[in-house]
């Protein structure tokens, strides 16, 4: 199933727009892969890979908002994976820590 079929964008109670589960997503399922390009400039939707290199996310996954109790995580291969079962309609979240 593609990212587009697993998720949709809607208004978020956390901040602005958010990414939501179109269907139930089981723990350890790959929700999608970040698409974009490397950058050295800070800005909206920039995920920092290290102190000098950012990655400007250009796909729908850029709408994943922060939570201290996230249900998804980004990995070095640019995958976004469910940390626990996510119910249909739940907002998909990640703990930004220092990444954003």
Segments making up each domain of the chain, as ranges: 3-33+60-94
Q: Over the Cα atoms of the chain, what is R_g? A: 13
Q: Give the residues across from 36 on adjacent strands.
A: 57
User: In angstroms, rounded to a whole number, what is the distance separating the alpha carbons of residues 98 and 100?
Assistant: 6
pLDDT tens, position by position, 28-52: 999 999 999 999 999 889 988 888 9
Structurally, at CATH architecture level, domain 3-33+60-94 sits in Beta Complex (2.170)
Q: Which of the two residues, 100 and 13, has the higher pLDDT score? A: 13
Picking from 82, 60, 85, 81, the residue whose alpha carbon sits closest to that of residue 4 is: 60
What are the pLDDT digits (tens) for 44-88? 899 888 889 999 999 999 999 999 999 999 998 999 999 999 999
Question: Tokens 């990212």 correspond to what residue?
Answer: 3
């Amino acid at each position: 199933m593609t990212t587009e079929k697993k998720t949709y964008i809607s208004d978020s109670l956390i901040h602005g727009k958010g990414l939501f589960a179109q269907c139930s997503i089981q723990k350890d399922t790959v929700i999608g892969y970040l698409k974009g390009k490397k950058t050295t400039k800070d800005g909206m939707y920039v995920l920092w890979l290290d102190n000098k290199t950012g990655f400007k996310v250009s796909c729908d996954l850029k709408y994943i908002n922060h939570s201290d109790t996230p249900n998804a995580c980004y990995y070095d291969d640019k995958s976004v994976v469910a940390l626990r079962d996510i119910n249909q309609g739940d907002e998909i979240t990640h703990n930004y820590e220092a990444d954003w």
